[in-house]
């Protein structure tokens, strides 16, 4: 008869085990979430760089065909609207242009700020992190 009676192991988790699991998950999230946010800022900045390079190529094609730049013919937008692309012309003859990517929404937290590219290929960033090379190389 004793063979039929087995000690029953408790099923489920105790409250202490549950608290430990919740604490471990909380610690992991405090480490992972800021890293993910930084990563997403970098991804969106890389998208803005791609948009500016595309805009520059479009302007160069127009310049090769017409002999001047025409900022009204090339419009590009980010799929997620993290940056707004705009142009600024320095002169009326269409011999210069400046393509500008201005951050929107959550992207305003990016230290690189506004990115710009001119007709000579000069790249700049206007945020608190003034290292343009770092901003343009996706770091």
Residue keyed to tokens 């919740």:
22
**Contact between 73 and 99 (Cβ < 8 Å):** no
> pLDDT of 4-45, one tens digit each?
656 666 677 788 988 999 999 999 988 888 888 889 999 999
Higher pLDDT, 138 or 102: 102
Alpha-carbon distance 98 to 102, whole Å?
12
Please give the CATH topology (third level) of the domain spanning 19-136: Glycoprotein, Type 4 Pilin (3.30.700)
Q: Which of 4-13, 70-79, 120-129 has the lowest mean pLDDT?
A: 4-13
The bridge status of strand 83-88 relative to strand 98-103 is antiparallel
Strand order, beta sheet including 83-88: 83-88, 98-103, 115-118, 123-125
**Contact between 85 and 52 (Cβ < 8 Å):** yes
Kindly list the domain boundaries of the chain, sorted by start residue: 19-136
pLDDT value for 76:
72
């Amino acid at each position: 008869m004793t063979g039929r009676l087995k000690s029953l192991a408790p099923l489920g988790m105790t409250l202490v085990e549950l608290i430990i699991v919740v604490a471990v998950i909380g610690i992991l999230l405090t480490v992972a979430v800021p890293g993910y946010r930084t990563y997403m800022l970098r991804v969106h900045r890389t998208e803005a760089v791609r948009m500016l390079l595309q805009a520059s190529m479009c302007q160069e094609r127009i310049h090769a065909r017409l002999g001047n730049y025409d900022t009204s013919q090339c419009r590009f937008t980010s799929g997620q609207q993290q940056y707004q692309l705009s142009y600024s012309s320095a002169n009326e003859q269409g011999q210069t242009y400046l393509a500008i990517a201005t951050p929107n929404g959550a992207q305003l937290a990016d230290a690189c700020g506004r990115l710009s590219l001119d007709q000579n290929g000069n790249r700049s960033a206007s945020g608190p992190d003034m290292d343009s090379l770092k901003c343009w190389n996706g770091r």
